[in-house]
Amino acid sequence: MAQQMSSLTPGGSGAPVVLPPDPSPFAQFVRSQSFAGLLLFLAAALAFVLANSPLSGAYEALRHLHLGVTLGGRGLDLSLEHWVNDGLMAVFFLLVGLEIKRELLIGELANPRRAALAVAGALGGMAVPALLYAALNGSGPGLHGWGIPMATDIAFSLGILALLGSRVPVGLKVFLTALAIVDDLGAVIVIALFYTSELNFTAMLGAALTWGALLLLGRRGVRRLGVYAALGVVLWLFVLGSGLHATIAGVLLALAVPLRRAAPLAVSLSGAAVPDADNERLGIHLQRAEAALERAQSPLHRLEHALHPYVTYAILPLFAFMNAGVAVGGATLGTVTLGVVAGLVLGKPLGVLGGAWLAVRAGLAALPEGVNWSLLAGAGMLAGIGFTVSLFVANLAFTDATLLTEAKLGVLIGTLCSAALGVAWLLLRTRRAP
């Protein structure tokens, strides 16, 4: 097809239009969810190997290397690990917030019946793992980690699902995406309500005023992303000093970025709009079309598209590298580890299936086209891939090094088991599919 297209001439002129070649299979793979999941896995594996090798001292020194920033006589001095967890992860949660807002307004979650299925599955997939974890940890010191097995990692779970290709119906991929987005919203609420330190009300007031200014700009339809970025940094500094976790600033900023387009898209590349021209003139028209497409996009879409590659290929792998380095020498599989593994491997599929079944039974939702309960069970298993957000909550839940190691070990074991079980189950259930 590309060869046929490359021989076309604009308006019947003799000059051929040279179109770019189709991307190579490797280039397509690099841009896919599968590559994003693989990159995340490789970063985590590298951290784990380093933490359990003779280079463990150098790895720990890197994580705790302090970097300071001074502005106007005041500054921040944080370790590299904290810059990633408190700073770069705020950008990750900004992207999560943009995805949540888009899905609620114009995406899958805007359809009541589709939203009901995803919301019910996500609620069940958060409640059952938390209850299983709490049952195994009783009233001991590990109870505070009940939020760890509630999360689903979007990049990792969708990357694993993408490996199955066309064997899996599109409806199942859409359901898992919507489920993971609702799950992230639940994780944000849990972090804000249950994993905060003592509150500084002066800083909270500053954050509230800054957020109010951002909301006003969004209501007025301000489209310059630089304005939102500048005020977003101010908001992050206030939230960082308020006692709320700094990543909440990312979600608050996302809610302020407008989704409305500036003007309808009106571009024509046929008839009188594009006269007979050579390649140079055609290039000018294509540039104009590209500029028109850019103007037609909402600030939310532009920001989401701009952030996605940086979050996927830089921030999440960096986070995995900084947090997945668990030294297993002398580590024990305590109740915290068992609780996290049970929550992710057993609680997630049971909760997702149970919540979805109740929603369908009540007439609030219906299964997507081509999806049956067996396939939904496979999606529930893949939802047990907690990884990024689970490790993030573990850092917030425990200051005790032993409990934190147990929790991270549980996240790694639970994630690997959920991925393996989910892939095996879906391969088994789809092996006769055409």
Each residue's pLDDT tens digit, 7-28: 444 444 444 544 455 554 444 4
Chain segment 57-109, per-residue pLDDT in tens: 999 999 888 887 776 556 677 888 888 888 888 888 888 888 888 877 877 77
Q: Look at residues 36, 23, 319, 253 and name the one whose alpha carbon lies nearest to residue 156.
A: 36
- The DSSP code for 315 is I
Q: How confident is the model at residue 416 (pLDDT cuts 50, 70, 90)?
A: very high
Tokens at residue 14, please?
A: 């003799």
Tell me 198's DSSP state.
Answer: S
Contact 160, 423 (CB under 8 A): yes
One-character DSSP codes across 30-45 = HTSHHHHHHHHHHHHH
CATH class belonging to 80-261+297-429: mainly alpha
Write the pLDDT tens digit of every residue in 366-401: 888 888 999 999 999 999 998 888 988 998 889 898
Using CA atoms, how far apart are residues 61 and 363, in angstroms rounded to an integer?
56
Under DSSP, the state recorded for 431 is T
The separation between the first and the last C-alpha atoms of the chain, rounded to the nearest angstrom, is: 25
**What type of residue sits at position 69?**
V
Pair 167, 430: CB distance under 8 Å: yes
pLDDT number for residue 1: 42
Mean pLDDT on 189-212? 87
pLDDT at 357 over 60: yes
Helix extents (H) in 20-153: 25-30, 33-51, 56-63, 80-82, 89-105, 112-137
Please say whether the beta carbons of 167 and 416 come within 8 A. no
Which candidate, 253, 249, 258, 261, places its Cα nearest to that of 219? Answer: 258
Q: What is residue 281's predicted lDDT score, i.e. its pLDDT?
A: 61
Count of beta carbons in the 10 Å neighbourhood of residue 290 = 11
CATH 1.20.1530.10 segments of the chain:
80-261+297-429
d(CA 234, CA 13): 56
* Lowest mean pLDDT across 119-128, 388-397, 417-426: 388-397
* Interior angle at CA 194, CA 189 and CA 196, nearest 5: 100
Q: Tens of pLDDT along 254-286?
A: 888 887 665 554 544 444 444 444 555 655 555
CA neighbor of 128 nearest in space, from 342, 333, 390: 342
Structure tokens at 44: 């985590």
**In Å, what is the CA distance from 222 to each residue of 149, 197, 398?**
39, 34, 41
Q: Could you tell me if 310 and 34 are in contact, meaning their C-beta atoms sit under 8 angstroms apart?
A: no
Query: Would you say 223 and 258 are in contact if contact means Cβ atoms under 8 Å apart?
Result: yes
How is residue 127 written in tokens?
A: 């409640």
